[in-house]
Amino acid sequence: MKKYLLTLLLILFGTSTMFAQSFFLSTEIIDSLKPDTTIDVWGETGEYVKLEAKVIVNNPQSFPINVKVKKTHISIVDGSTNSFCWGTCFGPSTFESPNAMPIDAGGNSGMLFAGDYNTNGTVGTSIIRYTFFLENDTTDSVAVNVRYTASLSSINESMEYTYNAYPNPANSIIDIQYSFQGAKEAKLIITNLLGSEIYNANIDIENKNIKVNVSDFNSGVYFYTFIVDGKRHSTKKLIVQH
């Protein structure tokens, strides 16, 4: 019986060790990302518009590690291009970093990594997975999915549709001033960096502005957009600082 229990414990220990990662990922505003988390990067389209995703690799170990990264296309908008930097910036045809980057014990990669997405005037959503892994053990890995969304700018959509939030950055109340001439109905939506909906409210088009209390929002980056007559319009960035 004792031998059986010992064997079972060894199996359980081996299994937990097998699936444990020796490092983890974060962003500038999220301390720790769960494996396979999807984060959103929003922006307006345009010939020279580039969307950028920043991810940080953290090494909690008492020894240095060497980490490589590879990208995987989950779904890509035709006409767009993408690349990444890992110490060195590579072209769109590079899917795996040729060299590993050293990360000191208890340290992190800082701004070594950036996922770059060029809209090239396209509209739509592309999803790219970035997998970070140890140079000497490819099974020790953590991945993050980045959802890049490019929407039409308000200028392209309609010269009569405009909106902006003040102050920005904000810490308590924001005043979003808008003009939707000729529209019948509109709704305001605010999401966090992960794409989760934080605020949703129908608005009175005739009022020309709406005040939103963000004092209960965590400090960080948010995105706000209006759905006017059933159509989502350009997304803009909102920063909350307490």
Cα separation, 157 vs 160, in Å, equals: 9
Q: What is the CATH number of domain 154-240?
A: 2.60.40.10
The reported pLDDT for the residue numbered 229 is 85
Please give the CATH topology (third level) of the domain spanning 20-151. Answer: Immunoglobulin-like (2.60.40)
The reported pLDDT for the residue numbered 57 is 97
Token code pair at residue 198: 């934080």
Listed residue (46, 118, 130) closest to 77, CA to CA:
118
- The answer to whether the 20-151 and 154-240 domains have the same CATH topology is yes
Cα separation, 130 vs 72, in Å, equals: 6
Peptide bond into 102 cis (omega under 30): no
The reported pLDDT for the residue numbered 92 is 93
Q: What is the pLDDT of residues 55-101, one digit of tens each?
A: 999 999 999 999 999 999 999 999 999 999 998 899 899 999 999 99
Mark the ranges of the chain whose per-residue pLDDT is less than 70.
Answer: 1-20, 46-48, 152-160
The reported pLDDT for the residue numbered 19 is 46
Structural domain boundaries in the chain = 20-151, 154-240
Residues 6+ apart with CB under 8 A from 187: 200, 201, 202, 203, 226, 227
pTM, two decimals, is 0.61
The reported pLDDT for the residue numbered 67 is 98
Listed residue (233, 215, 77) closest to 157, CA to CA:
233
Start-end of H helices in 75-195: 154-157
Cα separation, 203 vs 40, in Å, equals: 25
